[in-house]
C-alpha cells in the first residue's frame, strides 16, 4: 500500500523537464485519447451480448450473420 502511495505521489509531483513541447503534441494526445475511447466503444459493442450474458448468468446464442 505504501509503494502505491509513493507511486501516486511521485507521478503527481511536478518535475522540471526543460523540454520543448510542440504545439501539435496536444492534438496528437487528444487524437490518441479519442481513438482509445472509440476503440473501447467498438470492442464493447461487438461483444455486448457476451458481456450481458456473463452478468445475467444466461448462455449466449451466437448469431451467424456471415451466411446472410
Q: Per residue in 4-37, is it b (16+ CB within 10 Å) or e — as a string?
A: eeeeeeeeeeeeeeeeeeeeeeeeeeeeeeeeee
In the block, cell 446472410 appears at: 68
Q: What is the pTM of this model?
A: 0.52
What digits encode the pLDDT tens for the residues 2-57?
Answer: 889 989 988 888 878 777 778 888 899 999 999 999 999 999 999 988 888 888 88
Handedness of CA 36, 42, 47, 49 (dihedral sign): positive
Ramachandran sector of residue 18 (left: φ over 0; alpha: ψ -120 to 50; beta: rest): left
Higher pLDDT pick, 53 / 63 = 53
Q: Are 49 and 60 in contact (CB under 8 A)?
A: yes
What is the reported pLDDT for 11?
87
Amino acid at each position: 500500500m505504501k509503494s502505491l502511495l509513493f507511486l501516486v505521489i511521485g507521478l503527481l509531483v511536478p518535475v522540471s523537464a526543460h523540454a520543448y513541447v510542440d504545439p501539435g503534441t496536444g492534438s496528437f494526445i487528444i487524437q490518441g485519447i479519442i481513438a482509445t475511447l472509440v476503440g473501447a466503444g467498438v470492442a464493447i459493442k461487438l461483444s455486448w451480448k457476451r458481456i450481458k450474458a456473463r452478468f445475467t448468468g444466461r448462455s449466449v446464442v451466437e448469431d451467424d450473420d456471415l451466411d446472410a
